Every structure is written in C-alpha cells, then in structure tokens.
Chain A
Amino acid sequence: MARPPSWIVLFAGFVLVACPGRERREPPLPPNLESFDARVVERIQAARAKVQADPGHGGAWAELGMMFASERLKNLALDCYREAARLEPTQPKWPYRQAVTLAQIGETSAAMSAMQRSLELEDSYPPSHARLGLYHLELGELESAEREFRRATVLDSSYPGGWVGLARVALQRDQAAEALALATRLLQTDPEDRTFRQLATLARSQSGEVVRGDEPVLGADEVPVWNDPWELEARAFRQKPDMLRVGKLLQQGHAAEALLLLEGERARGASVSDTALSFAGAYQGLERDADALREIEALLALEPDNTAALVLKAQLLDDGGDLEAAVALLERVTTLQPTHGGAFAAKARKLAQLGQHEAAVPAFQRALELGVNDPELRFSLGQTWIVLKRYPEARPLFEALALERPEHGDTWLELAIARLRTKDLAGADQAFERARATPNASPRLLGDVQRALAAARERREKKSAEDEPR
C-alpha cells in the first residue's frame, strides 16, 4: 500500500495539536455498572457529568479518578489520571496519584516511574520522596530507598515519613539499634502514634529484647498519612459525610472502611460526642480495644452518664478480662436507666459467668420483661436455673425453646436434663435422641447427659430389682 504524502501527515499532526478538543474523550464507564450498588452508580454518574461539562479540565478528570479509586475501580482511576496528566502536564499531583494507585494494585515498578515523573515536576514535596522510598524498599533496593527517605527528611525534618522509612531500612539491614534510635525520637514527637510504637517494638524485638504482645497492631490497610495534603485530597473522596453509612459499614463488619470515613468526619470538625461511639465500634472491630477505650473515656469525660458509652466500656473491660468492673458499670447503667434491656441482659450474663447465679436470675428476668427477645438469653437463663437446681422452672423454658429451634442440639440436651430431674426419664431419653440427631450438640454435654441418663436408668433398674418380690 502506498504511504500518504508527507504533507498530509504534517497537516494531520497540526490539526491534532491545534485542536485538542477533537481528542477529548468520553469519561470511562465501568462495563458492569448494572451490578454495582445504586449509591455507587449515582456517584459515578455525577462525577462523569462534571467531566462531560468541562472535558478539557484536568482537575475534573482527576476528581473522577479519585472517585473511581475510592470505589476500588483502580484501572478506571488510572485511565482518568492519565487523561488529567495529559491535559495538565505540569501538575505534579496527577502522576503522584497515578503512582499511589499503581502501587496499590501491586504495579510497583510502574508506580516508581510515575512518582519519578511527579518529582521531575515538583521535587520539594517530601511525601513523594517517602513513597518512592517505600517502592524501592518493597523491591529490596535499600540504598535507593534510603536516598529517598533521607531527601524527605532534608526537605522537612518534621515530616515523619522520611524518618519512619529510614528506620525500616535500618531494620532490613539488621541495624536494630539505629532503627530503635529513630523510633524513639519519633515517639518523643508523638508517644501515641501507633506506627512509631510498632517500629520501636520491632526494633527492640530484633535487638533480642523480649517484647510484650500488647503493643497496638496496625490493620492491614492502614497507611499513615501524616502531613500529605495531596493524599488527604484523594481520601476525601472515600468519605461520605454520612454517619448512617458508617453505621451500616460497622454492622457489616467493615470496620476499617468505617474508620476511614470517621477520620474524615473528625477532620471536618465532627464532635467527639457525635463520633466517639462509632469510633469505638470501629476500633473494636479492628481489635484495637485500647483505642476504643480511649474514645469512650473521651466521651465519658464530656458525658459521664452516657449509658451507651458505659455499656460499651463494660464490654471492653470484659474483653480485657475485668469482668467484675464490667458488672459494676452495668449496675450503674441499670440504675441510671432501668429500662435498658440490653444492659440487664449483659449484666445477667456476666453475673452468671462470675458464678453469681442467684443474682443473675432477676437480671435475666428483667431483660426479658423489657423485651429482649433473644433465644440465647432465655437459654442462658435456663442454664442458670439448671445450675441452681430449679428444674421445674427450667423445664417449660427449654420445652418452649426446643419447639422454637429444634435444630439446636444443646437446647435438647438441657431439656433432657430438666426432664430427667423432674422425674421424666422417658421424656429425657426422647430429648437426648433429638439432640443426637442434630449436628451441633456439644460433644461434652452429650457425654454428660448420656452418663446421667445411664445412671438414672441403672438406679431405676436397681430399684425395680430390689422392689421385685424374691
């Protein structure tokens, strides 16, 4: 095929350069949009509309990218950042965003190239050097990593990212003492920073010290931001000013995600009163009980009679092994709010755990009166009655529970005991057989009941043998 004359090629090139509008693209759309959550679809459509209204504006593309990234649509986000960088080639934030996103999807080498492009445009932004250092570190390139971390500290000695990076490099080099010195200095600036504390713990451990296991552990997706406005700009897109959403996330077990939203809320000025309970719930979900307790204490300092906070604190104390203190707090809650069914239920369970069965019974009963309709609670009450040998009261409760949840093996076993102790051996046998037919009966309880039944049968047989006339 003949090649086109060179003047045509030149003209075509001129048109492309002079009329960038012709190159403008439609903002990307996920091909599987119909399978997305409706709220996500709404966000995507709104962000796309902004780009469509101003398709030559790099910032609009970057915003769309940040929105996509916040919804885990990282490849679409990269597409948008590339377009933003093309439209605004002198803006260092766009290749920076590309780098961060590429690193998140494991494309470390590509992330390094993007971060280097960003640094060519703006060399004095410390987080860019710190992140580039991290990418080098991940590839095991310790010298390059050290160079970048050191540059970050030179640019801003108060920015922790560079120092943390240097400590990490030292750990990889088995220079635990140096790492510990760096971590100790960082801790002087903020003794509560969890990253600093972990660094210090790791350094101490590597230097041969026996470390305790109670240092806070970081969640898998926790990346400290410190002073990184470019990252905070992107994180804002992850956040929806909607505490209902936080609640839903917590309910679904997405504590880390809820925490990010909450941090945004705090950053925008939300009060401790409005957020502490959610924070505590999120921390609890992440097994950061000390942080959860800190939030609760902060709230109780403002509102000492906040019963929700007291109940949560009791739960945290219980988790920490201080059952008696937990019960004391719940006593206070039930005094402050005698209609708090949940508090009575929790108190009852904990009293039973402490072996204070007599005291537990009225608490169980009050919780049930207040409408706590939880079969487990009734089951626990029944067990308490069994312990107290109040079999006639236990029996109707387990009879009802067994009808309600016939698949629950232990209910049948407890019923078997109640029937046995109320002189109904045949009924007890029947209940035991029902328990055996379920897949979930506790093996130990099964064994106990089986032995009790056998003993009862033996006694009965012995008695009838004795009663028989010789």
Chain B
Amino acid sequence: MTHLRLGTLTLLAACAGCCKSASETGAPWFAEEAHARGLDFSWQSGHAQKHYFPEIMGGGVALLDAEQDGDLDVYLVQAGSSVAAPAERPPNQLFENTGGGRFRDASAGSGAEDRGYGMGVAAGDANDDGRTDLYVTNVGPNALLLNQGACTFRDDTERAGVGDPAWSTSAAFVDYDKDGDLDLYVANYIRWSLADEITCYTKPHPEDYCSPNSYAAPAQDTLYRNEGDGRFSDVSFAAGLRAAYGNGLGVVCADFDGDGWSDVFVANDGMLNQLWHNRHDGTFEDLGVSSGCAVDQDGRKKAGMGTHAADVDFDGDEDLLVVNLAGESDSFYRNDGGRFSDRTPLVGLGAASRPFTRFGAGFADFDNDGFLDLYEANGRVTRLPEDSGPRPFDEPNLLFRGTRAGKFEEVHPRGGTREPLSATSRGTAFGDLDGDGGVDVVVVNRDSPAYFLMNRVPERGHWIAFQVRETNGRDALGAVLALDLDGTNVRRTVRSAYSYCAASDPRVHLGLGARTSIDGGVSVTWADGSEERFTGPFAASQVHVLGRGQSVKR
C-alpha cells in the first residue's frame, strides 16, 4: 500500500493551519544553542600533514538517560590523533542534562572517558540491569561501558568479550534471537592500520583522503550474542555474517519482512548494501540484492553512509533510507512486505540531496503534524576542487518536511536555522532534550563545535511520546508500537540505533497535529513476539510509560 489513507488526510486537514506555515514562510525550525546550553564539544580529527583515512569519518553521539531522571543526557565520542598513543588522546565526554536541555560536563570521574580513536556509539542495556549502557566504536578495540547509575560507568569490555579490534563505525543493540536480552551488531568499515595508509590523488589535488575501495580491504561485521551472564560470544561466523564483506557505515535493525524477527540492514560505502535476513535459527542470510535494497534504481551501488527505517507510507512495514555521497542521490527504498523498490525520485529526494555528502540522517516529526520529516547532516570526504580554503570539507545540512502526499520538500532556510551553518557533519542523534515536545538534534562536527539544534518550529502540532519498557525497566528496543489514528495505522519501532555512528532517544515520539489525545488503545509487539494492548485514552503533551505486563493481555 503506497497511498496514504483518508484518515491521515483528515488529520492533516485539521492541522493544516498549524503546521504548514513554517517551511512556506521560511521561518527557521531550529536554533543552534550548543554553547549557550553548555554543550561544548568538537570532534578532533587530529589531522596534521598526512591524510589518515579515519580523520574524515568520525565521530558519534548518544542521547541516553544516563542517570534515569527522565531527561536525555549526551555522550560524545572523541578521537584526537590517530598516530598518538591512547593515553595521549582526549577522552570521550558525558554531558549531564541538568534540566530543560541545559548541560554540564560530567565526564570527570564518570568512567565513560574512553580514549580510543572514536567513531560512534550504541546505547542499550547490555547487562539487563535496567540501565542504559554504552558501546563505543573505535578505530581499534571498542569499549563497553556499563552504566553504574548517577552518571557513572565502568569499562567491562574485557569481561564481556566485545572489544572488536577492527575499525568499527555504527553499532546496534538488538535481540536477534528472542531470548530476552540485547545482542550486539557491530558494523566494521575497512581493514586498516597506520601502516596500511596510502596516498590518494583526487583531481585536481595531489593528495587527499582516499575512498574505501582504494584500500581494497573491506571488512566483515561482528555479531555478539548476549549470553545473559554479562558475557557475549562472537557468533559472527556461526550466524553467517562471514559470508560477506562490506565497507559498513550505517546500521538499522527492523523486522523488514514482518515475520516477527529482527533483521539487520547495513549501508556499505561503495559496495552493495546488505540486508541480513534473520532465519530464526541464529543465522542470517544476505538478501540485499534479491530484496532490492543493495543497489539503486539503475542497478548502481552507491556510497552508503547513514541509514534509517520507518513506516513512512503507513502501509505497515518499514521503509528504508540510505544517504550517500555527493553526486549520488539518497536512496529511499519503499518496502512492500520485505521487497524493496527504489522510489527516491517519487518521494522528492532525487535531486535535492545530490550536491552533498550526507552522513547522519533520521526521520522525525519535527513539526508534529503527523508526518515524518527528515534531517541530513553533511560534509565532504574529499576536498572541494575549486576552493582549498581552511575548511574544504564543510557543507550545509539539509532539512526536509514530510508532506501529506508522502513526499519530502526541502525546508528553507537551508538546514532549518536562521543563520546558515556549515561544517563537516557526521554522527547525528535525535531526541527531545528539553522536554518541550519538539524533537531536537545533536550533530557532531569534525574539528568544529557540535550543533545542538533546538526545535523551534513555530506553531508545532500537539505531540505524545511513549516510553516502552521491558519488565526490568530497560527500553524495549525492537518492540513495535501500533495505533490507529482516524483509520490510519501508525506503526513505530522502539529504536535507538540508526543514522550514522549515533544512538538516539528510543522513546516513540508522535506528532498529533490538532489532536489532543489518542482515544483508542495502543498495541505493543514485544521483541519476543508477544503482544500487549494498552487501553487509552492517552493525553497529548506527555510521555506515557508502557511497561511490559502492565496491561490486560489479549
């Protein structure tokens, strides 16, 4: 089903007055307030003379409620010099939300100060204690930081056995085997070491960053199975992941074919994307090519970076977005029961995205009109040929408004801010950091301050949010929330890992337009396949907690 249902149109018609003005009048949707709110961070690439490939690829960000006080804290992954010893590198930083989206640097003594050459981060409860832990991906061994409460963490990598030594990028916690605990999928980029670095020529410059294919060293991803006792086993081989190589950058997990099991999609840079179909027996099979999401509408493989999945067209399955290199449009794969068709031009992302190199990306209903909008964070990977100024990789970011026709229209001013912003943007996370009902954005920039984009959409619609929790209180990653809005089936997955090298707020945020409540019930399909229905009404402008077992079972 590709057309929006009548109910959705009715809903939109009701809120047309409140929601359409922003993009049409050019009112900014965001205000960049990182410094003013205490979020001072710059991902340091460490670039000096020679071009070391990792310098152009990081870094990442996680939004998590580290101290379980109901608001989102921010964890930012740092790098420093790729040639320096870890002890000489600057540490990752944890910023505690002191309320209303204002932050203090809580890094010192937090135990979260990993000093690897940082790329990204995943967030999830690794040890089933109800607290959100962090898995930091590095160029070199990754780190698992267990949340000890009160903004403190403990490095448990060695005991847990998850220190993947490869160059890892995005990672995702996912219960792929339905045993009730969160396993861990780690995307690896290329097999690289300082000794392997090469010099690349990109017209017209004599030296520049290489493309991943220059190294001819694609990597294999890693799957760690959670053994339930705080330890993980590397089951990549047994699960079938060693059957394929890729230059993995983006990861998103979803039940793409509706069989009740989580699959894994990996966006590969310059290689075929992979769709690891879950075969229900602990193994996976790459169905990227046969399902239609490995290449674009012309059969070309692209340079996949960030990715996200969402049921954009309200047909009950999750569509896929992959953002790519400059010169290549985004890839919007419409999902029809596990078969994908590239419909990028039809959703309006064909031409608009092509001039930029996009990394971080995510759907969110920024204007709360009931339709998912889209934010893309950009920055070149090779120098701009005609300008060798001090920041030859910087680009503006892009913001698109989702329309009732199922299309995306670019919002102006470009990137959604009054003053144009330009940087080499990478990891990007989404969440309501000040608790005002608008989804905010945190963007990590290479060698320049991170953005904290506060949602300032004028006359936003009403909103509602659901925090879906397992019995121990952890976020129920992989659970699917479904509800009926005036005849339109809305379906959202509880998900933190998407975009690029980032972990976002796992709470399900919905724009309601003019509605002030959800009167019907809400269904939750938990990751193990069981279903629960929570009866309404649910009032707007609130975060509702849906705890497992806290409703009448069907």
Partner of A287, one of B271, B290, B348, B350: B271
**B386 in contact with A202 (CB, 8 Å):** no
B301 interfacial by beta-carbon distance below 8 Å: yes
B83 interfacial by beta-carbon distance below 8 Å: no
Bound: A248/B206 CA distance, A: 13
**B213 in contact with A137 (CB, 8 Å):** no
Contact A217 to B292, CB < 8 A, known contacts A40-B203, A139-B350, A174-B341: no
B270 interfacial by beta-carbon distance below 8 Å: yes
**A253 in contact with B165 (CB, 8 Å):** no
Contacts of A107 in B (CB 8 A): 355
**B327 in contact with A217 (CB, 8 Å):** no
The residues in A between 262 and 312 inclusive whose CB is less than 8 angstroms from any CB of B are 285, 287
Interface segment, one of A206-214, A335-343, A376-384: A206-214
Mark contacts of B270-301 with chain A using CB atoms, 8 A cut-off: 1 yes-contact digit, 0 otherwise: 11100000000000001011111011011111
The residues in A between 215 and 251 inclusive whose CB is less than 8 angstroms from any CB of B are 215, 217-222, 248-249
Contact A198 to B203, CB < 8 A, known contacts A139-B345, A285-B216: no
**B300 in contact with A75 (CB, 8 Å):** no
**B141 in contact with A439 (CB, 8 Å):** yes
Q: Name the residue on A nearest B299 (C-beta).
A: A198
Q: Name the residue on B nearest A197 (C-beta).
A: B299
Mark contacts of B307-348 with chain A using CB atoms, 8 A cut-off: 1 yes-contact digit, 0 otherwise: 000000000000000000111110000000001010101111
Contact A211 to B193, CB < 8 A, known contacts A138-B351, A172-B297: no
What's the nearest-Cβ distance from chain A to residue B162, in Å?
11
Bound: A221/B200 CA distance, A: 18
Bound: A208/B338 CA distance, A: 11
Bound: A211/B299 CA distance, A: 13
**A255 in contact with B213 (CB, 8 Å):** yes
**A220 in contact with B301 (CB, 8 Å):** yes
Partner of B165, one of A135, A198, A287, A439: A439
A205 interfacial by beta-carbon distance below 8 Å: yes
B239 interfacial by beta-carbon distance below 8 Å: no
Bound: A71/B383 CA distance, A: 13
**B289 in contact with A211 (CB, 8 Å):** yes
**B388 in contact with A202 (CB, 8 Å):** no
A199 interfacial by beta-carbon distance below 8 Å: yes
Bound: A336/B301 CA distance, A: 40
B109 interfacial by beta-carbon distance below 8 Å: no
Q: Name the residue on B nearest A108 (C-beta).
A: B351
Q: Name the residue on B nearest A287 (C-beta).
A: B271
Known A218-B301, A220-B325; 12 more pairs at CB < 8 Å: A31-B386, A37-B206, A106-B327, A137-B345, A138-B354, A140-B350, A210-B290, A217-B299, A219-B300, A220-B270, A222-B300, A253-B198
Q: Name the residue on A nearest B389 (C-beta).
A: A32
Partner of B205, one of A36, A171, A220, A287: A36
Bound: A135/B345 CA distance, A: 10
A121 interfacial by beta-carbon distance below 8 Å: no
What's the nearest-Cβ distance from chain A to residue B329, in Å?
7
A105 interfacial by beta-carbon distance below 8 Å: yes
Q: Which 10 A-B pairs have the closest CB atoms?
A: A198-B299, A253-B214, A106-B355, A106-B354, A213-B289, A108-B351, A138-B350, A32-B388, A40-B204, A72-B385
**A220 in contact with B300 (CB, 8 Å):** yes
What's the nearest-Cβ distance from chain B to residue A410, in Å?
12
**B205 in contact with A205 (CB, 8 Å):** no
What's the nearest-Cβ distance from chain A to residue B73, in Å?
30
Contacts of A135 in B (CB 8 A): 351
B180 interfacial by beta-carbon distance below 8 Å: no
**A72 in contact with B203 (CB, 8 Å):** yes
B399 interfacial by beta-carbon distance below 8 Å: no
Contacts of A248 in B (CB 8 A): 201
**B193 in contact with A440 (CB, 8 Å):** yes
**B299 in contact with A253 (CB, 8 Å):** no
Mark contacts of B502-537 with chain A using CB atoms, 8 A cut-off: 1 yes-contact digit, 0 otherwise: 000000000000000000000000000000000000
Bound: A244/B200 CA distance, A: 16
Contacts of B351 in A (CB 8 A): 106, 108-109, 135, 138-139
**B326 in contact with A30 (CB, 8 Å):** no
**B302 in contact with A35 (CB, 8 Å):** no
What secondary structure prevails in chain B residues at the interface with A?
A: loop
Contact A218 to B299, CB < 8 A, known contacts A32-B387, A212-B290, A439-B165: yes
Contacts of A16 in B (CB 8 A): none
Q: Name the residue on A nearest B202 (C-beta).
A: A72
Q: Number of contacting residues on B, CB 8 A?
A: 61
Q: Name the residue on B nearest A77 (C-beta).
A: B386
Contacts of B327 in A (CB 8 A): 104, 106, 220-221
A147 interfacial by beta-carbon distance below 8 Å: no
Q: Name the residue on B nearest A256 (C-beta).
A: B213
Q: Name the residue on A nearest B210 (C-beta).
A: A253
Contact A195 to B213, CB < 8 A, known contacts A73-B386, A139-B350: no
How many A-B contacts if CB must be within 8 Å? 162
Contacts of B199 in A (CB 8 A): 252
Q: Name the residue on A nearest B215 (C-beta).
A: A253
Q: Name the residue on A nearest B355 (C-beta).
A: A106
What's the nearest-Cβ distance from chain A to residue B184, in Å?
16
B140 interfacial by beta-carbon distance below 8 Å: yes
Contact A253 to B213, CB < 8 A, known contacts A211-B290, A439-B141: yes
Bound: A32/B299 CA distance, A: 37
Partner of A217, one of B201, B301, B339, B346: B301
Contact A36 to B295, CB < 8 A, known contacts A138-B329, A138-B351: no
Bound: A218/B387 CA distance, A: 30
Contacts of B289 in A (CB 8 A): 211-213, 215
**Residue of A31, A248, A287 contacting most chain B CB atoms (<10 Å):** A287
Mark contacts of B81-96 with chain A using CB atoms, 8 A cut-off: 1 yes-contact digit, 0 otherwise: 0000000000000000
Bound: A61/B516 CA distance, A: 63
Bound: A220/B357 CA distance, A: 14
Bound: A140/B345 CA distance, A: 5
Q: Name the residue on A nearest B345 (C-beta).
A: A140
Contact A72 to B299, CB < 8 A, known contacts A32-B388, A138-B329, A443-B165: no
**A213 in contact with B303 (CB, 8 Å):** no
The residues in A between 68 and 93 inclusive whose CB is less than 8 angstroms from any CB of B are 70-76
Mark contacts of B109-144 with chain A using CB atoms, 8 A cut-off: 1 yes-contact digit, 0 otherwise: 000000000000000000000000000000011000
21 interchain pairs, CB-CB under 8 A:
A32-B386, A35-B205, A36-B205, A71-B204, A71-B385, A106-B353, A108-B351, A138-B351, A168-B298, A171-B297, A172-B345, A194-B299, A197-B299, A202-B299, A218-B299, A220-B270, A220-B328, A253-B214, A254-B200, A254-B214, A255-B213
The residues in B between 201 and 229 inclusive whose CB is less than 8 angstroms from any CB of A are 201-206, 210-211, 213-216
A411 interfacial by beta-carbon distance below 8 Å: no
A98 interfacial by beta-carbon distance below 8 Å: no
Contact A37 to B201, CB < 8 A, known contacts A171-B297, A201-B299: yes
Contacts of B210 in A (CB 8 A): 252-253
Contacts of B388 in A (CB 8 A): 32, 35
Contacts of B346 in A (CB 8 A): 140, 142, 172
Bound: A256/B385 CA distance, A: 18
Contacts of B203 in A (CB 8 A): 37, 40, 70-72
Contacts of A139 in B (CB 8 A): 345, 350-351
What's the nearest-Cβ distance from chain B to residue A454, in Å?
18
Mark contacts of A181-205 with chain B using CB atoms, 8 A cut-off: 1 yes-contact digit, 0 otherwise: 0000000000000110111011001
**B341 in contact with A75 (CB, 8 Å):** no
Contact A217 to B348, CB < 8 A, known contacts A37-B206, A205-B292: no
Contact A76 to B325, CB < 8 A, known contacts A36-B206, A37-B204, A106-B354: no
Mark contacts of A432-444 with chain B using CB atoms, 8 A cut-off: 1 yes-contact digit, 0 otherwise: 0000000110010
Contact A36 to B343, CB < 8 A, known contacts A30-B386, A139-B351, A287-B271: no
**B198 in contact with A252 (CB, 8 Å):** yes
**A140 in contact with B198 (CB, 8 Å):** no
Q: Name the residue on A nearest B270 (C-beta).
A: A220
Bound: A137/B298 CA distance, A: 12
What's the nearest-Cβ distance from chain B to residue A210, in Å?
6
Bound: A71/B297 CA distance, A: 28
